[in-house]
Structure 1
Amino acid sequence: MTALTLAAPAAAAGHRGAGRRLLAQAQFANSVGDGAYLVASAFYFAKVVGLPPAQIGIGLTAGWAVGMVAGVPLGHLADRRGPRGVAVTLAVATAVAVASFALVRSFVPFLLVTCLYGIAQTGLSAARQALLAGLVPPAERTSARAMLQATLNGGLAAGAGLGGIALWLDTPAAYTALFALDAAGFLVAAALLLRLPALRPAGGAVPSGKLTVLRDRPYALVTLINAVLLFYMPLLSVIVPLWIAGRTSAPSWVVAALLLVNTGSVLAFQVRVARRVRTLREASASVRRAGLMMLAACAVFALSPYGWPYLLLGAALLVWGEMLLAAGAWEISFGLAPDDRQGQYQGFFGTGTAVARMLGPVALTALVLGGGTLGWLALGAMFAAAGAAMAPAVRWARRSASRSAERA
């Protein structure tokens, strides 16, 4: 029995399309503000709040670390209480955290708010995934998740444009307006999520306090491999810009062009890529190809001192690997998770994102900027090895799940 069922089962088919639209609208509402936040927040914390870079880094790292720990219990809460209510609450909590950023003027309040932000964002992601699992049939979840990812990227791109305007104005009022926009986006998202059909856990399906995902070693390995591959995330936002500034003669506008290649490609092709992934075998193959594509991207980025067009080619290869990884990872994360524990399993799988955000910039700065061409090649080899390791890890997880089902 599926753990999450519609309160009125006969209405499931009628609500399915409306549910996807509402999820997409909610995703877009908060991603516009997030795009603006990602572009301009570091400048705000440094110029307006007056925090030194080390304190900004510590605060953001601590926030994602706390969020990583909170993701599983909040996902479990979504399984126990129903994901809609938990998602709405966490969307409101994120809005409160974002609005609070505009009020902080010293390190300790900044640290507290970043922790609230990390907890709310990570838990919201897990609850949304549980909502998707409850609203969409298993065969359609990967394509639906791809549609949401494309929507997310569209919102981030629009928000990044607004963030650019704030950077151009470079006034406290402009930065404060961005935080207000981001907070309003999460409140709109909460209102939209509240309109979704009610999902509730099947009676007694999820024992209170039983976080079975923490004892699922095969799923933990799959999550670890995905986390390694997610270290691509800070490449375009942190590593490549620093590489361009220190190792190439490329004009500064190339950074914006690389981000445009990334967001435009995801908008245009992510859903198409995801439609090709329908089984765990296809998902494992997609992740393997993603690792190879990322290896190729790293090799091309290493050539960029010889000509900045290599940067554009590298960005194109990287985003193709990103889309292959996303499609495979979504199918794997849903397909290996028990239906009655999607919240806690998605919360655990989502810790890979927090790890990449927390450790990626520091680790990759040392590896790539310190190692140069060899650093790029070592990073690419890591991606390729992780991609190749996914298929045997998924087979182990499937065998383990089959044995558990037989014992039950």
Structure 2
Amino acid sequence: MPHLLPPVGPQRTLSLAQLSNSVGDGAYYVTSALYFTHVVGLAPARIGLGLTVAWAVGSVAGVPLGRLADRRGPRGTAVRLALVTGLAVASFLVVRDFWLFLAAACVYATAQSGLAAARQALLAGLVPDERRTGALAHLQSTLNAGLAVGATLGGLALSAGSTAAYLAVFAVDAVSFLLCARVLRRLPAVAPVPGERGAKLEVLRDRPYAVVTLLNTVLLLRMPLLSLGLPLWITERTTAPEWLVSALFVLNTGAVMLFQVRAARSVHGIPTAARALRRSGGLMLLTCAVFALSAVGSPWGAAAALIAGSVLLVAAEMFHSAGSWQLAFDLAPVGRVGEYQGFFGTGVTVARTLGPLLLTALLIGWGTAGWLLLGALVLAASYALGPVARWAAGTRPHAVTVTGPATVARSA
């Protein structure tokens, strides 16, 4: 399908870099928990504590690292952070106690957070405003394709169940980041943005952008829904077969890979981004209602409701992704894209850290009422993002067009 391939040039190179490390990440995600318990020998509670601390550190470090990408140049910063991430993954091969695990995990999470911000700044410097959301859609499709391939490799390692198989997966992930760094070096350099020495991080004083980030974090609760909320719901509250957990994951990644680019085509400015986010919120409310129905009925009826809900969920995800990307870029001041993207990315960490606690309490504890409350919360946040984005646009030091179909129009 031609629309799956990004245009030749920087967009395709960025997608290749994304693909190279997402294959390794896919294998890592499906094997890491068992690796740290069976090979490293850590208790599950200590693994959870260590990863929570690590991602908290990484989310804080992402903002100054994004600013560093603006000041020193995003390409060089992204290459170095990809190398550091690869070395952090490689260190897991020899870690055998909790404190070394915690140190390696903190380096890994910090480098990953900074790399995400630097990549966004690099994309902003290489891709025109009107093409950025489409470029990000291609990157998301590539990410899902790589994760699917990597998850298959990880599944083979799980089937083998040997220490050598687990070590091979981590070695593949480490090498994948080295390949990512090599691909990123092929991109044109983006000139660094000069700034005052010791200047404060502007994003930390930008209240409108902080509110946009907070509301977007509510919409990001869909992330632990697929990885934790649904598996627990299926096994604890429905009669559906457990293998459906894997099938729904494949459905999600495959749909995003095939249709994310198409879903993003209608988003080309703040008004259309707000419309996509409202659509996402409405779909999420419907999704939650359908998932709640899966607790009633036969195994096949429950499975049908879960599949229908998963189709709605992936549609909500794609509209949310397109709308949030547009807002994150359009509201970032010129010369501070890395800094602002680093801050916006903290929403992912917060959703992944606090989301499991919230979803477990709502879905497993409250059942149908919890599903409906979750859907209503996401719907309210999605409708609030439009007026908050317009408020944020009105406070920008550079003019942002919010009334027409064109993307951001900044003054010289």
User: How many angstroms apart in 2 are the aligned matches of 1:388 and 1:53?
Assistant: 38
Report how far residue 201 of structure 1 moved. Answer: 2.0
The corresponding residue for 1:396 is: 391
Q: Does 1:53 align with 2:44?
A: yes
Residue deviations 1:353-407 (CA, integer Å, cap 9, x gap)? 1111111112211221111111111111111111011001101101111688999
SS across alignment from 1:201: coil
Matches within 5 A, 1:54-133: 54-133=45-124
Structure 1 alignment gaps of length 5 or more: 1-15
The corresponding residue for 2:403 is: none
Which amino acid is 1:176 matched to? L
Matches within 5 A, 1:223-242: 223-242=213-232
User: How many angstroms apart in 2 are the aligned matches of 1:212 and 1:45?
Assistant: 39
Aligned with residue 258 of structure 1, among 218, 231, 248: 248
Which amino acid is 2:236 matched to? G
Which amino acid is 1:101 matched to? F
Matches within 5 A, 1:319-330: 319-330=314-325
Aligned with residue 279 of structure 2, among 284, 289, 302: 289
CA RMSD across the alignment: 1.7
Report how far residue 102 of structure 1 moved. Answer: 1.7
Q: Does 1:211 align with 2:201?
A: yes
Aligned with residue 182 of structure 1, among 167, 173, 176: 173
Asked if the contact 2:333–2:397 (Cα under 8 Å) also holds between the matched residues in 1, the reply is no
Report how far residue 17 of structure 1 moved. Answer: 3.7
More helix by share: 1
Q: Does 1:268 align with 2:263?
A: no
Report how far residue 207 of structure 1 moved. Answer: 5.8
Aligned with residue 21 of structure 2, among 11, 27, 30: 30
**Equivalent residues, number:** 392
Aligned with residue 144 of structure 1, among 114, 121, 135: 135
User: How many angstroms apart in 1 are the aligned matches of 2:145 and 2:398?
Assistant: 42
Report how far residue 159 of structure 1 moved. Answer: 0.5
Report how far residue 278 of structure 1 moved. Answer: 0.5
The corresponding residue for 1:349 is: 344
TM-score (norm 2): 0.92
Report how far residue 105 of structure 1 moved. Answer: 1.3
Indicate the larger mover: 101-110 or 144-153: 101-110
Question: Which aligned segments of 4 or more residues in structure 1 are displaced greater than 6 angstroms?
Answer: 403-408
Pair 1:385–1:207, CA change in 2 (3 A):
farther
Residue deviations 1:311-359 (CA, integer Å, cap 9, x gap)? 1111111110000000000100000111211010111111111111111
SS across alignment from 1:386: helix
Aligned with residue 334 of structure 2, among 333, 336, 339: 339
Report how far residue 112 of structure 1 moved. Answer: 0.9
SS across alignment from 1:401: coil
User: How many angstroms apart in 1 are the aligned matches of 2:385 and 2:197?
Assistant: 30
Which amino acid is 1:98 matched to? V
Aligned with residue 313 of structure 1, among 301, 308, 311: 308
User: How many angstroms apart in 2 are the aligned matches of 1:151 and 1:68?
Assistant: 24
Report how far residue 261 of structure 1 moved. Answer: 1.1
Asked if the contact 1:80–1:208 (Cα under 8 Å) also holds between the matched residues in 2, the reply is no
User: How many angstroms apart in 1 are the aligned matches of 2:272 and 2:245?
Assistant: 33
Asked if the contact 2:62–2:114 (Cα under 8 Å) also holds between the matched residues in 1, the reply is yes
The corresponding residue for 1:382 is: 377
User: How many angstroms apart in 2 are the aligned matches of 1:99 and 1:189?
Assistant: 15
Asked if the contact 1:79–1:206 (Cα under 8 Å) also holds between the matched residues in 2, the reply is no
Q: Does 1:166 align with 2:129?
A: no
Which amino acid is 1:121 matched to? Q
Which amino acid is 1:163 matched to? G
User: How many angstroms apart in 2 are the aligned matches of 1:134 and 1:192?
Assistant: 17
Aligned with residue 193 of structure 1, among 166, 175, 184: 184
User: How many angstroms apart in 2 are the aligned matches of 1:357 and 1:338?
Assistant: 27
SS across alignment from 2:158: helix
